[in-house]
Chains A and B, each alone.
Chain A
Amino acid sequence: MSLHRRAATRRKVVLMAVAAALLLVWVFPLIWAVIVSFKSESDVLAYPPTVFFEPIGRNYEDALFGDFSILDSLATSAIVSVSTTVLTIVLAVPAAYAFARLKLPAKKSIGFYTLATQMVPPVGLVIPYFLILNKVSMLDTYTGMIIVYLTFSLPFAIWLMVSYMEDIPFEMEEAAFLDKATRWQTLWHIIIPQVRGGIAVTVIFVFLNAWNEFLFAVQLGGNTVRPVTVAMYNFVSVEQTLWAKLSAAALIAMLPVVIIGIAAQKQIVKGLTIGAVKGGGRR
């Protein structure tokens, strides 16, 4: 009995060790980035890398207010991401309700169409968008960028919201109808409050995707619309070795999504698994 237990304990310890090692693989690049971001340029270039050094805040100052300020880019990212998110939710939630619940002609085809639009490779959109926006002089404009961002956020949001809408019992609407609510009132007072959780998940995913988007931003943006992802990229291509400042800037740029990620960890996992768990049953 005790032999068994000791073997089990040893197994647990080994497991923990292996798991912890793998854990380290995932956190290390981030921890290292944090460490580097506090190094002076001379400490950065020390090789082998130093672990003990005089931490400085200079890199963050520079990244925010200095020559390499990314404040403008942060603002741009915020404007584009928030606008995209708001527009996406406004368009996706009613559509998802109709798909999940209502009689709609050609529902299957439209549903397949929405799904299929998710399969379009981004490069297959950035090429025509460049040509089109170029023609109508909308390159490097907020409007253009937000329109483009809808291409990936909207189908995804509709798809995600449909699975939340499907979870609402039919009796909710039936009860509301009997209580003399109109269809709009039912949607507004009964349905939407019950998918608040789903809307939150959708908001998080749409926002994260918009904030992190790079391909459209780098090619269809410019000096006016330059989100942080592009600013980061330019940083490296222009300032080859200012890696401490890059780390600081990148960490600032990623701070919003990291905070959202940790705070909304549960919702994100829910969003990730909804397809895997529900998709198994649905054809």
Chain B
Amino acid sequence: MQGRVNREGGVHQGETRFALVLTAPGILVLLVTTTFPLAYLVWSSFQTINLAMPFLDGFAGVQNYVDMWYDARFWHALGLTGIYTVSSVTLQVAIGLGLALMVMQIPAGQWIFRIVAILPIVLAPVVVGLFWRTLMLAPNFGMIDFLVQWLGFEQINWLGAPTPALISVIVIHTWQWTPFAFLVFLASLASLPGDVYEAARIDRANALQRFWHITLPLLRPAIVIVIIMRAMISLHAFAAIFAATGGGPGTASEILNLYAFKTSFVELNFGYGSALAVALLVITMAVSGILFYVRTPRRREASA
């Protein structure tokens, strides 16, 4: 008994209580602001909550989830989420890495790129969506619309036709967030040890070999982290799409996030909207789980 009391002695005396005092407010706030609403969300996904027809409200069991299974719009939204996330993350990483490698070769003026790259990142996604919707893509006004016609192509209704609308929202997202990948890769490249490259040069590795055998493996942690962070953001993208297309035309750019939102706040069917949001949460956790699993280098690789 005395031994137990003693163990808490010395430098650790009162440590746990102090730690609890420090963490309690933050954790309590998180419990109240995040966990409680989340529990409420799960609860409401088992309810019929329709502000348009409140007389029908009540416990629905798994009916919302059954409905979801047979809901073509859900599967469509899910597919779009996949396309949107995979393509925008791939583009961000590829362009960001390419640009970073390029800028690393430029002897002076790297700071200009850093400054320019910061700008899209700090802009509100909703403003980015609005800028693109109007200044870049609007028919007979936007710069891209003008360029397309000037180059002699047929005018494209970027935001009004299904496939161009999907491409547009992917491009907008890629435009805003590629600088993020670029800046992370630039910083990681700058922190790579120079002597490794000198050694590789002495070993007569050419530029491509150096990239493939040295740069890429050393950059791997940064790449994986960027993929994880960007995938999370892509899955939850909202404001830019909402501002640019509103998910339209029809449901052409309606990723799951938007579908859940519209179901709740446009159709006022909060029960089903909740179920859709729960589905998105599950997907997010699954994706991040897989990505985190990939991130952790396994033993096999270490010993190989």
Q: In the complex where A95-B22, A214-B126 touch, is A131 in contact with B15 (Cβ < 8 A)?
A: no
A246-270 toward B: CB 8 Å interface, digit per residue (1/0)? 1100100110011011100100110
How many residues of chain A are within 8 Å of chain B by beta carbon? 99
Q: Tell me whether A276 and B225 are in contact (CB under 8 A).
A: yes
Q: Tell me whether B239 and A214 are in contact (CB under 8 A).
A: yes
For residue A38, CB closer than 8 A to chain B, the reply is: no
For residue A124, CB closer than 8 A to chain B, the reply is: yes
Within 8 Å CB of A44, what residues of B? 141
For residue B222, CB closer than 8 A to chain A, the reply is: yes
Which of chain B's residues has its CB closest to A263's CB? B118
CB interface residues, A 13-46, toward B, < 8 Å: 15-16, 18-19, 22-23, 25-30, 32-33, 36, 44-45
Q: Tell me whether B26 and A92 are in contact (CB under 8 A).
A: yes
Q: In the complex where A212-B123, A254-B123, A261-B122 touch, is A280 in contact with B222 (Cβ < 8 A)?
A: yes
CB distance from A35 to the nearest CB of B (A): 9
Which of chain B's residues has its CB closest to A259's CB? B122
How many residues of chain B are within 8 Å of chain A by beta carbon? 100
For residue A180, CB closer than 8 A to chain B, the reply is: no
For residue A127, CB closer than 8 A to chain B, the reply is: yes
Q: In the complex where A23-B112, A236-B134, A258-B119 touch, is A15 in contact with B274 (Cβ < 8 A)?
A: no
B39-74 toward A: CB 8 Å interface, digit per residue (1/0)? 011001000010000000000000000000000000
Within 8 Å CB of A122, what residues of B? 236, 238
CB distance from B151 to the nearest CB of A (A): 12
A228-258 toward B: CB 8 Å interface, digit per residue (1/0)? 1100110110000001001100100110011
Bound complex: CA A273 to CA B295 (Å): 16
For residue A139, CB closer than 8 A to chain B, the reply is: no
CB interface residues, B 271-286, toward A, < 8 Å: 273-274, 277-278, 280-281, 284-285
Bound complex: CA A214 to CA B128 (Å): 12
Q: Tell me whether A121 and B141 are in contact (CB under 8 A).
A: no
Within 8 Å CB of B132, what residues of A? 29
For residue A56, CB closer than 8 A to chain B, the reply is: no
Q: Tell me whether A127 and B44 are in contact (CB under 8 A).
A: yes
CB interface residues, B 85-143, toward A, < 8 Å: 95, 99, 102-103, 105-107, 112-128, 130-136, 138, 140-141, 143
Bound complex: CA A15 to CA B273 (Å): 49
| Of the residues A97, A148, A283, contact of B22 by C-beta under 8 Å | A97
How many CB-defined contacts (below 8 Å) exist between A and B?
A: 300
| Of the residues B19, B27, B33, B179, contact of A147 by C-beta under 8 Å | B33
Which of chain B's residues has its CB closest to A104's CB? B19
Which of chain B's residues has its CB closest to A133's CB? B37
The secondary structure that dominates the A interface is helix
CB distance from A65 to the nearest CB of B (A): 21
Q: Tell me whether B115 and A262 are in contact (CB under 8 A).
A: yes
Which of chain A's residues has its CB closest to B243's CB? A233
Q: In the complex where A122-B236, A123-B261 touch, is A28 in contact with B143 (Cβ < 8 A)?
A: yes
For residue B165, CB closer than 8 A to chain A, the reply is: no
Which of chain B's residues has its CB closest to A148's CB? B33
Q: In the complex where A117-B35, A122-B238, A183-B14 touch, is A127 in contact with B123 (Cβ < 8 A)?
A: no
A121-136 toward B: CB 8 Å interface, digit per residue (1/0)? 1111111111110000
For residue B196, CB closer than 8 A to chain A, the reply is: no
Within 8 Å CB of B23, what residues of A? 94-95, 98-99, 104, 110
Within 8 Å CB of A7, what residues of B? none
Within 8 Å CB of A119, what residues of B? 232, 281, 284-285, 288
CB distance from A47 to the nearest CB of B (A): 5
For residue B216, CB closer than 8 A to chain A, the reply is: no
Which of chain B's residues has its CB closest to A177's CB? B11
Q: Tell me whether B44 and A131 are in contact (CB under 8 A).
A: yes
For residue B257, CB closer than 8 A to chain A, the reply is: yes
Q: Tell me whether A229 and B126 are in contact (CB under 8 A).
A: yes
Within 8 Å CB of A128, what residues of B? 37-38, 40-41, 44, 274
Q: In the complex where A94-B26, A131-B49, A276-B221 touch, is A12 in contact with B114 (Cβ < 8 A)?
A: no
Within 8 Å CB of B25, what residues of A? 91, 94-95
For residue A174, CB closer than 8 A to chain B, the reply is: yes
Q: In the complex where A121-B281, A127-B44 touch, is A280 in contact with B221 (Cβ < 8 A)?
A: yes
Which of chain B's residues has its CB closest to A257's CB? B122
| Of the residues B49, B120, B260, contact of A123 by C-beta under 8 Å | B260
Q: Tell me whether A277 and B277 are in contact (CB under 8 A).
A: no
Q: Tell me whether B41 and A124 are in contact (CB under 8 A).
A: yes
Q: Tell me whether B30 and A26 are in contact (CB under 8 A).
A: no
A-B contact pairs, 8 of them (CB 8 A): A12-B106, A49-B146, A92-B26, A103-B15, A154-B26, A155-B34, A235-B130, A281-B221
- Chain A residues engaging chain B, CB cutoff 8 angstroms: 12, 15-16, 18-19, 22-23, 25-30, 32-33, 36, 44-45, 47-49, 91-92, 94-95, 97-99, 102-105, 110, 113-114, 116-132, 147-148, 150-151, 154-155, 158, 174, 177, 183, 187, 208, 211-215, 219, 228-229, 232-233, 235-236, 243, 246-247, 250, 253-254, 257-258, 260-262, 265, 268-269, 272-273, 275-277, 279-281, 283
Given contacts A94-B22, A148-B33, 17 further A-B pairs with CB under 8 A are A22-B95, A27-B116, A30-B119, A30-B131, A49-B141, A105-B16, A121-B257, A130-B270, A212-B122, A215-B261, A232-B127, A261-B118, A262-B115, A273-B184, A275-B225, A277-B191, A277-B222
